[in-house]
Chains A and B, each alone.
Chain A
C-alpha cells in the first residue's frame, strides 16, 4: 500500500489550497484561517490566438494526478475516482468533470476540472498504486475549430483523422520538438497537455500552425 507522506507532515489542506485559484478567493478563505496570501500566475495567462477555422486557447488550471497501478488495483481506484480507468491503449474515460487518460499499460493521467481533488481520492485507496500530483507540471491548451486537425498536424506525425483518432482518443506524442499529450475532446476540438516550461513553445507553434491551417 502506498500512502501519501505520512512520515513527514500531512499534506492536509493541499486540496483547499489548490482549489484556490485567485487572490480574491484567497481573501475569502483568510477568514477561515486557511489563507493563501499569494496569487496564482498561469504560464499562458492572457494568451489566445485565432485564425480562419481555428482558435488556440489556454485552458484554466485543473487538478491532475499521474496514476500508476497494476491491473489488480484498477477497479478500486476507478471506484474511488468515480471514473473507470480505461484499459485500452489510446482511449480515455470521462465522467462528471473528470477525465482519465490511458497513457501506458499501467499509467493514467487523471484530470479534474470541477475543483475536486483526485489525489485525495487516490489516497483513500489501499490497493497498490502510485499517485503523484502534477497539477502545476502541466499546462493545457485547447485547439478548437474545423481546422484543428490541420493545426495539430503541422507538428504531430500521428494520423489524426476521425477514423484513426476518434473523439475520446488520447495519446502521448510529439508536437514539433516538444512532447505533448493529445486528447480529442470533440470532432473539432483537441486538448493538448504539455509541461509548463514547454507551454510557450507549444502555444507559439500552434499559433504559427493555425495561420496556415485553413489551406
Chain B
C-alpha cells in the first residue's frame, strides 16, 4: 500500500531519497521534497483533521499557505511541539512526527463531533447570545469551558530550546513572490545593478509554474525556465534570494517583515542554525508578485475529505507525482480546472466527470478535454456528496433545479470557483483596492507607498502579459531607485496558461432558504447560511458580518473565504459588492512564531543586565543581589548562618559603630561644563548655585515644570565652570534627557555642555566613624582633615595612585566619603579599601542597609518616598529652595492652587505602638479604624524597616496634614489586624546630626 498513489514518472522528485514519518503514530514513507500533505496523499490519506467548531472530519484543501483544514502538530521532541502547522507547507524530513488535532479519542472517531449534530445550537453569534447571562457565570463557568473546548492544537509546555535570529536588510528593489512574474521582475531589476531581495514562501522558486504544465518560456517548460532564472539570480552579488520565507507584514515607508524558516524542513538541524530568521527589510521600491489563490465551490458538505482545489490536485500530480484519487470528479465555474482534469487523465487517473456551472463552456481547453474523452456536464451543479470520512460520490443536477439528479461515484472531487488576487500585502501597505465589476475582483487601486503589483495579484491572467508587465515593472523599480538600464532581454513566453473569471458566492443547492452545510470558511466552520443569518440579524457592513460569524477570522485570515462571504452578504442585502465593502487585511499574512518576533532577545539578551565594576567582588563575597532597573546591585552580604534580617542588622550597626563600604556606582553622574554652568544649574535645580565655592557640595533638588519633585542628588562644584552632578540610579537617563531638553530648546543661549559620566566613575562609599581612618593611608595629595575637608566638600587627587574625585558626604548620617575612581580601577581600589577596612572591623553593606540607614535619618529617596505628585513642601524640604531665585524649572508649577492648598499629604515619621511590628510599605492609613468600609484613607506608608540601631521599627509616610498631627495616633488596617501608629518627625536617629563629624 505504501506510496500507492505515487505515479511513476510523474513529479519532480522521482529519484529522491525515502523519508519515513509517522502520522498519529502510524508509520508511513514519503520522499524528500514532499510536503507532509503530498506524502499523506501519496499514501492515500485524506482525513487529517477535525474542524474547529463542529469537529467535522477534514482533509487537505490546498497545496499551499492558504490551507485552512490540514493543520497538524509537528513534534520533534518534548520541548519542540509546534501546533497548527499546515501540512501543505511543512516539508517532509526523515523522522518527522505529526499528530492530528482537535479530536478525542481518535481522528476517525471524535466525541466532539456531537457538535455537528447539535449544530443548530451553534449558529452564528451563538457565543455572544448564549453566554450573556448571568454575568458572573462568564468568568467562572462559560469562559473556562469554552476555552477548554476551543482552540486547535496544544501549545508546548516547555521552554523553546531553539534559537532565532534577526537581521536588518536594505535594498533598492524588494520582490515579494517568486513565481513567473516575480522572477522576471527580479531579473530585470538585478541586471540594473541595484540591490535586489527576492522572497518566496516555497522551498523553490517558480510559483504557479509548479503546476502549470502547459507553460513554455524561452524554449523550456515553465518550471525549468524558473529554476534557470533562480540559479542566475542566486549567483549575482547584488541579489539575495530568500526561499521558505514569508513576507508577513508590510509597514510604513516600505518596511517589510519577513520570516525565514531555516530548519523546519531538516531532519537534524545544526546547533548553530537558528530555527527561523526575522528579516526587517527597508526597500526603496517594492514589487508585489504575490499571485492569486484559487477559491473553492460553496455547496453542501463541500468540506468532506477528498474534496480539494483543482490547482492543488494538479500541483500534487505535476510537482510531487501524486494522484489525489483514482476516480476523480471536477466541479468548476472556471477553465483552469479543465487543465487539472487533462493532466490527471494523461497520468492515467480516471476523470469521472466535469461538472461546470456554466451553461456552455467553450474554448480550446474544453475542446481538448472533450477530445480526451472526459464527460462534461455543463449548466449543472453538485448538490450533495456521499461519504463522511472521505467522499464516495457526487450528486449532480441542473443548476436551475429539477429532479434530473444523477449520482456519480468518485474518490476525490476537484473544484474551482476562480482565482482571488492576493492583495493582502498591497492592502497592508495602506493601498486601496478597487472592485472591478467586469472581472468581479478586488484589484490594487490607489497606491499608498512606492510599490507596484504585477501578475496574478494585479489581476493579470495570461502568462505572456504577466511577463511583459513584470519585466517592465522590475526595470522601472530599479530605475526609480537609482539603477542603470538593464541589458538583458525580456523572457519570451511561447505557450500561455490563462485563468478565467469563475463565480462568487454560494452555488445552486446552497442558496438562500437551504439548510445545508455549505462551508465558506472551513477553519472557523462558517457556512453560507451563517452569513445570511448575520444579515437577517441586522449586520450591514462586511466588518460586522465578519465579527458576528467569525468568517475570515481564523489563522488563514479568509484567504479562500473572504470573497465568497462578501458575495453572499451582498446578495442577501441586494447590494453591490463594493457597497458592502471588503474587510481589512492585517499582518501577519500567515501565522508567525513568537520565536521569530523575539529573535535574539531571549535569556541574557532579553534586556541588558548592567553590572558595576565591583560586581565580581560582591559575588565572590556572597552578596545577594537585587534588580534596580537594569542594574544588579548588592542587596546585603550574608555571612555563614545569617539570614537577610541578621545580615542587614549587622551591616546597619557596623556602619554606625565602625564603618562600612558600599558600592554607589550606579548613581547617575553628569558633568556640567562651561562658563554658564552655574547659571544653568540655577535654572534646573531649586537650589542656589552661583555662590557655591569650588570644592564644596550641595544637595540638589530638581522639579518638573509642574512643580513636583523629579530627582535629587549631591552636586559638587569642581571649578567655577565645572559641576559634578549626581542623580538617582533610576533617574540617570531621564534627568540627562530633561537637562538636555531645557538646554537645547529653552536655554540655548547658555554656554554650557552636559556629559554623562555615570560609567566613567566607580563609586565606593565609605561611611562610619572610622571612614577617614580607612581611606587615609591610601589617599595622596588631599588633606582630609575636618578643617581642610569639611562635610559636603569635594577634592581631586589620588587614591592607590589612581585619580579620584573624593567627596566628603553622607547618606547614612555618619562621617562619610564617596571615592570616585575610573571604572576599571573600581574593583581593585575597593579591594584596597576593604583591606584597610578589615583593620577597623568595617563591613561591606548593600542597598537594604543603605535604605535603612538613610531612613533612620529621615533622608528621602525620590521614587520611594515621592511618587511624582509630591511637592517640596510635602516632603518637608523647603530649605532646598533658593528663596531669592526668580526662575527655575517648577517655580511656577509649585505655586499652583492645588499644590499650596492645605491638607496635602506631608511626609512624616510613624512609630508603631508595638515597636516590634514593622509596617508594610504601601499600607493605607486611616484616622478612625471603626468607621464603616470603605474607610477614608488619609495617607500611606512609603518606607518601613526594622531599625536595629533604634531597637524598633521605623517608617516614613505621606499623611494628609501630617505635620499638624505630631503625636496623634493613627491606624493602619491590615487584613488580619489594625496597627496603631504614632505620628512623629522624620528623623529617628541622631537628631542633632552630630555623627556627621563623629
Contacts and interface: CB of A to CB of B under 8 A. Distances in A.
Asked if A and B form a direct contact in the complex, defined as CB atoms under 8 angstroms apart, the reply is yes
Interface of A: 1-11, 13-14, 17-18, 26, 34-43, 51, 61, 66, 68, 70, 106, 128, 130-138, 150, 153-159, 161, 164, 176-178, 195-198, 200-201, 204-205, 208-209, 211-212, 215
Interface residues of B, number: 70
Given A37-B800, A205-B605, A8 B795 contact: yes
A8 B536 CA distance: 86
Given A37-B801, A61-B824, A198 B610 contact: yes
B608 A198 contact: yes
A131 B165 CA distance: 40
A43 B119 CA distance: 66
B720 interface: yes
Contact of A11 (B695, B721, B803, B831): B803
B827 A41 contact: yes
B796 A130 contact: no
A34 B832 CA distance: 17
B720 A164 contact: no
B631 A197 contact: yes
Contact of A41 (B272, B613, B803): B613
29 contacts: A2-B674, A3-B721, A7-B695, A7-B718, A8-B718, A9-B781, A13-B803, A38-B825, A38-B831, A38-B832, A41-B613, A43-B613, A43-B824, A68-B755, A132-B757, A134-B755, A135-B760, A135-B822, A136-B825, A137-B757, A137-B759, A150-B167, A155-B600, A157-B280, A159-B282, A197-B631, A200-B604, A212-B274, A215-B165
B479 interface: no
A153 B169 contact: yes
A204 B801 contact: no
A37 B832 contact: yes
Contacts of A132: 671, 673, 755, 757, 760
A64 B555 CA distance: 54
B94 to A, nearest CB: 23
Given A13-B798, A155-B166, A137 B760 contact: yes
B527 interface: no
B898 interface: no
Given A2-B721, A36-B802, A201-B608, A212 B165 contact: yes
Chain B interface SS verdict (over half):
mixed
B604 A8 contact: no
A181 to B, nearest CB: 13
A38 B753 contact: no
B656 interface: no
Contact of A200 (B170, B280, B609): B609
B280 A2 contact: no
Contact of A2 (B675, B795, B832): B675
B601 interface: yes
Contacts of A159: 170, 282
B895 interface: no
Given A7-B719, A26-B801, A136-B759, 6 more contacts: A2-B675, A17-B803, A36-B800, A40-B825, A134-B757, A135-B760
A25 to B, nearest CB: 11
B170 A164 contact: yes
A2 B722 contact: yes
Contacts of A17: 798, 801-803
Interface in B136-163: 163
B796 A9 contact: yes
A196 B613 contact: yes
Contact of A176 (B600, B757, B758, B801): B600
A8, A10, A150 — which one has the most chain B CB atoms within 10 A of its CB? A8
Given A8-B719, A38-B801, A130 B760 contact: no
A18 B262 CA distance: 48
Nearest to A23: B828
Contacts of B800: 36-38
B600, B613, B693, B827 — which one has the most chain A CB atoms within 10 A of its CB? B600
B195 interface: yes
A13, A132, A164 — which one has the most chain B CB atoms within 10 A of its CB? A132
B167 A154 contact: yes
Nearest to B778: A37
Contact of B824 (A34, A41, A155): A41
A153 B168 CA distance: 5
A5, A14, A198, A205 — which one has the most chain B CB atoms within 10 A of its CB? A5
Interface in B265-286: 272, 274, 277, 280, 282
A68 B600 contact: no
B823 interface: yes
B611 interface: yes
Interface in B703-743: 717-722
B541 interface: no
Interface string B578-608: 0000000000000000000000110011011
Nearest to B806: A9
Given A9-B782, A209-B165, A66 B755 contact: yes
Nearest to B604: A204
Nearest to B631: A197
Interface string B609-622: 11111000000000
Contacts of A155: 166, 168, 600
Contacts of B673: 2, 68, 130-132
B902 to A, nearest CB: 45
A154 B604 contact: no
Nearest to A152: B168
A5 B796 contact: yes
Contacts of A36: 800-802
Contacts of B827: 41
